[in-house]
Homo-oligomer: A and B are copies of this chain.
Amino acid sequence: MAVNERPSALLTDLYQINMIQAYLDHGEAKPAVFEFFVRNLPPRRGFLVAAGLAQALDYLDTLGFSDSEIDWLKSTGQFRKNLIDYLAGMRFTGDVHAMPEGTIFFANEPILRITAPLPQAQFVESRLINILHFQTLIASKAARMMLAAPGKVLVDFGMRRAHGAEAGVLAARASYLVGFAGTATVLAGERFGIPLYGTMAHSFIEAFDDESAAFEAFARARPENLVLLLDTYDSEAAARKVVALAPKLKAAGITVRGVRLDSGDLVALSKSVRAILDAGGLRDVTIFASGGLDEDQLAVFTQQDAPIDGLGVGTSLTTSSDVPALDCVYKLQEYAGVARRKRSAKKATWPGRKQVWRRYSADGRMAGDLLAREGDNKPGEPLLEPVMQGGKRLRPAPSLDDIRRHAKREFDRLPAPLQSLKPGTAYPVEIAAEIVELAAAFDRRMQAQSASAK
């Protein structure tokens, strides 16, 4: 099975294994704290939506090498015995703090923190980023589509051009958790219980010599939630065929529920097809649109009052096409009780283990965040909560419906400037004085060291 089973522990970067060798030889297995965060919000993103925690915890929960994986590592002749033995017995025994999936977050705010012996905490970096990055990317993109098309039924049609099997299935999950109605991807229905949507393809119509005959054959075969595809040859002509066919289908107990438009000027076509359907007595037949749509086009439909009831979005959603990657990292913030910091040009990080505190204004909207040291009490609501301790989950995973409710509550609390596709004023995220001082103290220590080395 390609998706959502225990992944091979070999899905990591070679340097993680190299570093573990050095950690083992040097006895560096003291507690390390790593945080996963996004360094900068990408263009046109006023906020991001945390997602992927369920799969991240599955990964940590089941981490371990199989005998055949260990045999392969041995067969390469590149790894010493103490390393192989360590990997063969490696389990994740650390603690995890995280924001619940569906939480809105901003640059520099950790959404997950790992506290574990250094080799373990180091090893899991590559796959943890791989898991958290992708669903967060897609949930954040899907959130824009929800903002652009309020009240519409949005469906994920994008598995085919998602980047591989896992991306196809997890994009369905990430978009559903922020409020999509469902997906076309059957495996996502089986794995996560996500509602499935599906109509017909142009090839179906083309396989028949006559379009009306194709409609009728499909209607009789799949009379439930019947949606007919109009644009194979001429959308308006096809709408008239649907009107002509509807009484015959009705006599057979079959109701046309909707039609789908997949090409052309969708605003104009939705209006002309709506008029044809209405004039033909098919006022209850809904119009579903698809075909290379993104949130900007969805916003145009909304602005122009296009009579479109539902939308299938594919590639732009499942590849997050305008921003196919986030500038996310998993960074060492503390080791052996001492705060650590990377100081590379333009990539410096805030040291220490952190909590994010969020304040709300009187009307319940998000008013500002504060990045503080863990343990310092600050005004507002802390966003990171313990989810795993000593390698054990602290509570059952929330259901996808629970996550959807949480995400909806988060959207309801978005300040107005962030509800636009072109976010205006940036949301305020302050760095607590204690964190700034921690960074300064670290820098002073490094400077003293480098001075004494000269």
Which residues from chain A sit less than 8 Å from chain B, CB to CB? 1-3, 5-8, 10-19, 21-26, 28, 32, 34, 69, 72, 76, 78, 118, 122, 125-127, 129-130, 133-134, 137, 157, 159-170, 184-187, 189-190, 196-204, 206-210, 212, 217-218, 220-222, 224, 231-234, 237, 262-265, 315, 319-321, 324-326, 328, 331-332, 335, 340-347, 446, 449-450, 453
Contact = CB atoms under 8 A, between A and B. Distances in A.
A379 to B, nearest CB: 32
Given A187-B11, A232-B344, A129 B328 contact: no
A21 B220 CA distance: 10
Given A28-B207, A129-B161, A218-B22, A17 B233 contact: no
Contacts of A166: 2, 163-167
Contacts of A199: 15, 18
Given A2-B11, A13-B159, A198-B15, A164 B21 contact: no
A341 B233 CA distance: 9
B186 A17 contact: yes
Interface centre among A3, A133, A134, A161, by most B CB within 10 Å? A161
Contacts of A3: 2, 7-8, 11
A247 B5 CA distance: 49
27 contacts: A2-B7, A3-B7, A15-B200, A16-B201, A21-B222, A22-B217, A23-B204, A72-B190, A122-B203, A125-B201, A130-B164, A130-B165, A133-B160, A137-B163, A202-B332, A202-B342, A203-B340, A206-B340, A209-B449, A232-B342, A232-B343, A233-B446, A234-B450, A237-B450, A263-B346, A265-B345, A319-B325
A26 B220 CA distance: 10
Contact of A7 (B1, B170, B207, B320): B1
A12 B185 CA distance: 6
Contacts of A163: 134, 137, 162-164, 166-167, 319, 324
Contact of A1 (B5, B157, B186, B345): B5
A28 B325 CA distance: 43
A154 B67 CA distance: 32
B206 A342 contact: yes
A17 B201 CA distance: 11
